[in-house]
Copies of this chain bind each other. A is one copy, B any other.
Amino acid sequence: MTEQPGAEVRRPANQGRKVAARNRAAVIAAAREVFAEQGLTAPLSVIARRARVGQGVLYRHFPDRTALVEAVLEENVRQVEQAAAAESATFAGLLGVLTWHLAESAAFIGLLHVDQVAGRSGLGAHASALSERVQHSLRAHLPADHRLNAKDLELAVAMVSATVTGPTREERERRARDAWRLLGVEVGPVRPFEG
């Protein structure tokens, strides 16, 4: 277990420490893609390969699958939060940003539907925290006279995110829009937040 046989052969390049951040981002991007394609239980080795890094790099940045999933979600959540923090933020506008992310990132869909993985990996706790951050951002801009109260809002978001499935971004966006319409909720322009 000590000397690893075969270790004396070759050893490919090492791009130094500048690449660390780039690699981390590459892993997250790859994870987003792979999770979208294969689900949250996709082999981590596939993600590492897609990101063009060794498996060790993946593990260095994300000690377990949960951490990686969270990192993927984190980005989406942060954008919603930033949108909520903007002066010009409106409820409908926020829903637009949220919807964009739902449609864009299939992994985000799991935010309120991580049960499949959560049951096995204990993702639950952090997913709840992330979910709560989204809810919090939305609630802050929920008009007092809105059709939905705070409690319903949570359910509504869950219902919409659950419907956001489909092979293409367009298809997913269309389904999300339809879902909001069924709920009788007006949604602003569906687009990412841009400060």
Contacts and interface: CB of A to CB of B under 8 A. Distances in A.
Interface of A: 1-3, 37-41, 43, 64-65, 113, 115-117, 119-122, 148, 152, 155-156, 158-163, 165, 175, 178-179, 182-184
Contact of A159 (B39, B40, B182): B182
Contacts of A3: 64-65, 120-122
Contact of A39 (B116, B163, B183): B116
A183 B184 CA distance: 8
Contacts of A178: 152, 155
A191 B156 CA distance: 24
A65 to B, nearest CB: 6
Contacts of A161: 162
B158 A162 contact: yes
A132 to B, nearest CB: 16
A39 B119 contact: yes
A79 B119 CA distance: 28
Chain A at the B interface: mostly helix, strand, loop or mixed? helix
14 contacts: A1-B120, A2-B65, A2-B120, A2-B121, A3-B64, A3-B121, A39-B117, A39-B120, A41-B41, A116-B116, A155-B175, A158-B162, A159-B162, A159-B182
A122 B3 CA distance: 10
Among A2, A43, A65, A158: residue with most chain B CB under 10 A: A2
A163 B160 CA distance: 9
Contact of A40 (B43, B116, B122, B148): B116
Contacts of A116: 39-41, 116
Contacts of A121: 2-3
Given A2-B65, A155-B182, A158-B163, 6 more contacts: A38-B120, A113-B165, A148-B182, A155-B179, A159-B160, A162-B162
